[in-house]
Structure 1
């Protein structure tokens, strides 16, 4: 029999959340799609390691219930988000200061209440001998200014935020009349946790989007680990759509070549890999700088009494930027009777990172960590693409007719950005292929060649 003219309408290279979300929209439009992934599992950097009943995220990026793409993306209907306690817990001057919205408060109103309530909130987890410090938000007037700023940003349409004058986030925050203590004591540690950029070199537009999501929603993690999100997307695609263990060696507008199966013909190719892999397949694509991230996971049978709070270090007194008893947020991540504490180090880690983190955590939680067991230390040098000003939040996903690219390096360096870039890429592909879609059935992969 004659071979088919092509084996799928669209071949997607990479099974991260950007590529999988694009695959959902294409298949729903009647476009036959094949997703090729070099690894033996889906998800890319959104991976979760299983160790003795614990579920340990490799990077542990924070999500927000305000991310619109989590609601819009087909295939994520079964995603369960486990929110942290409202707001955050700040460690400053040896004390904990809670910034939390009252139950039932949402959006800007909740964020405004959170910062005003910070200085007078109870601090049950700090030793009685700790010195009485000043709230990291400064005076009552400073708190009111911050509350007003969060109110405005929560109510500003996204397109208006993207039209603001762009500068590094630290410079933009100072120019808005916020005092240095408020920036360093609250906004810097918060944005460091959200953007993995403790120096606030990120574009002010990207920082505004992150603050908007914080003010309008709740910080959260997927139930069961980060890998659940891409696995949900993969499982809900038609059978035979995703092929793992397939290494793509070259691409064109009408085919991809794989190491295992030779050529795979198509009408369009979407590169949905990380930025460096995409540039290897298409020399000339820009490779951004990256923020390195190290996540250290501990377990103990006597967890700190911080509940489900996200704890930030406002003093920057050690390598840990933020930490949480994650099993209090998502009990499925630890076996019964054990607690999981996950801590994030931003930037290059210190030489003896495990010892430095353990010492810092003892100060942050106000308890001894000598009996804590280290489960894993995950260091990812190219964890999050940097978004330094000037940053194009809507980098083109259409390179030319038949060749497209998506990923968090084309949008914002967040799960929201990755999903949205996949949305934009699928829209461009459907426009180019035409509204008629495809009447062809996807053909199976060719038989693997002998080594």
Structure 2
């Protein structure tokens, strides 16, 4: 066809779209990527404000993901990892450290004392935790084929109760999953647990946006920015209409947007999405600490981390950057006074002088992975139309990368 603009038009320069374009190029197909924003990454972006690097939402890159190992040059990203463990803070502000002794042997005595103080060494607690966690270390295919249930229901069935659940697992996972009620698929959560057990997540020293920027530099990835797609006409030669009035034609179209935009452009059934707010503070009065902190006593803040202690490139020299994440629901972001109260307790510091650098309200942070839903959903949604994104696989960077590769394979088969 001589009247087409590319073999494939990819809508969206997020992780799935960028991976799809690279995979199409390797299959001998030309791809043109259109994105409404001014830089690659989709939901993975970093704002630089007064010299601080503030990711749009607290995000981590897990080097244990198979697709990351296969398609990402982690060494080139200068990945900086957090402490392997958490500090659990009670209602009085007392912090208990639970750290991996293989990486932090000097914290073994404190970890044992903390585990005992939290009631984690009781036989019933140990048995419940083992029954839930051990399958995560087995073969992935076996884990993927196990019967599924809502996370909270499976915890009830397996006896995961008490402080382990209320003070550690629930607050930690609520930030990872953007789920404050425990209705996420337990099968998926065990896959998440597996990734944390295999490696320590981290961030590039120049911010999370360094990751999609690397994917955008791969040979064959051609991105046009500030190109918002308004309509897609499916057919033997699908057409893509851009907001500036341009109409592009291709042999196939891949819609690699988030779930909400994908549903609007394709009428495909997608998942709803959950939201998170991340507050970025210039802090003072706290010692450097690379461990994630969670509240064992409730509150609006689901996690907080001193990013300048994890990755020095996130803050100007001699200054401290702290992030605090809260769930974002239909009532909007948490009140700043409530966030400050929680952050002060979690860090054991007066936060009255802490400056809010920026607050990111990400209403579409993660697709919902409901109990019983497939870990791999169909991609083809029309005659020459394919969808991709973390709403087609798992709601993760792994899922986005895998989905992009799957979409490229589906298009190659379609075009023969």
Distance in 1 (CA, whole Å) between partners of 2:145 and 2:166 is 26
Distance in 2 (CA, whole Å) between partners of 1:223 and 1:424 is 30
Q: Match of 1:188, SS?
A: helix
Distance in 1 (CA, whole Å) between partners of 2:157 and 2:182 is 14
Distance in 2 (CA, whole Å) between partners of 1:115 and 1:179 is 24
Cross-structure match for 2:345: 363
Cross-structure match for 1:69: 67
Structure 1 pair 430–416 and aligned structure 2 pair: CA distance change class (3 A): same
Distance in 1 (CA, whole Å) between partners of 2:278 and 2:118 is 25
Contact 1:115 1:146 in 2 (8 A): no
Contact 1:116 1:147 in 2 (8 A): no
Q: In the TM superposition, what is the alpha-carbon distance from 1:199 to its structure 2 partner? A: 1.5
Structure 1 pair 321–74 and aligned structure 2 pair: CA distance change class (3 A): closer
Contact 1:146 1:178 in 2 (8 A): yes
Contact 1:350 1:356 in 2 (8 A): no
Q: In the TM superposition, what is the alpha-carbon distance from 1:325 to its structure 2 partner? A: 0.3
Distance in 2 (CA, whole Å) between partners of 1:115 and 1:150 is 24
1:42-191 aligned within 5 A: 42-73=40-71, 78-94=76-92, 95-104=94-103, 118-120=111-113, 135-142=117-124, 144-145=126-127, 148-149=130-131, 152-191=134-173
Task: Count how many residue pairs are aligned between Structure 1 and Structure 2.
Answer: 411
CA RMSD, Structure 1 to Structure 2 (Å): 2.6
Q: In the TM superposition, what is the alpha-carbon distance from 1:381 to its structure 2 partner? A: 1.9
Distance in 1 (CA, whole Å) between partners of 2:132 and 2:199 is 12
| Deviation digits for residues 259-284 of structure 1 (CA, Å, limit 9, x no counterpart) | 3362222111100011121122112x
1:8 aligns with one of 6, 14, 21? 6
Structure 1 pair 392–313 and aligned structure 2 pair: CA distance change class (3 A): same
Q: Match of 1:312, SS?
A: strand
Cross-structure match for 1:34: 32
Cross-structure match for 1:448: none
Contact 1:38 1:247 in 2 (8 A): yes
1:272 aligns with one of 244, 247, 256? 256
Say if 2:213 is the partner of 1:235.
no
Say if 2:240 is the partner of 1:247.
no
Cross-structure match for 2:396: 414
Structure 1 pair 135–385 and aligned structure 2 pair: CA distance change class (3 A): farther
Distance in 1 (CA, whole Å) between partners of 2:353 and 2:74 is 39
| Deviation digits for residues 295-350 of structure 1 (CA, Å, limit 9, x no counterpart) | 00001243345x1001111221x210000001111111100010100010013377
1:323 aligns with one of 287, 301, 304? 304
Cross-structure match for 2:413: 431
Gaps of 5+ in 1: 122-132, 435-451
Contact 1:272 1:407 in 2 (8 A): yes
Contact 2:393 2:402 in 1 (8 A): yes
Distance in 1 (CA, whole Å) between partners of 2:158 and 2:149 is 12
Distance in 2 (CA, whole Å) between partners of 1:320 and 1:365 is 12
TM-score normalised over the length of structure 2: 0.91
Higher-Rg structure is: 1
TM-score normalised over the length of structure 1: 0.84
Distance in 1 (CA, whole Å) between partners of 2:387 and 2:74 is 22
Contact 2:136 2:191 in 1 (8 A): no
Q: Match of 1:201, SS?
A: coil
1:256-405 aligned within 5 A: 256-260=240-244, 262-283=246-267, 285-305=268-288, 307-316=289-298, 318-348=299-329, 353-405=335-387
Q: Match of 2:364, SS?
A: strand
Contact 2:88 2:97 in 1 (8 A): yes
Q: In the TM superposition, what is the alpha-carbon distance from 1:400 to its structure 2 partner? A: 4.0
Structure 1 pair 236–302 and aligned structure 2 pair: CA distance change class (3 A): farther
Cross-structure match for 1:125: none
Distance in 2 (CA, whole Å) between partners of 1:219 and 1:202 is 21
Structure 1 pair 137–231 and aligned structure 2 pair: CA distance change class (3 A): farther
Q: Match of 1:420, SS?
A: helix
Contact 1:411 1:418 in 2 (8 A): yes
Q: In the TM superposition, what is the alpha-carbon distance from 1:143 to its structure 2 partner? A: 5.4
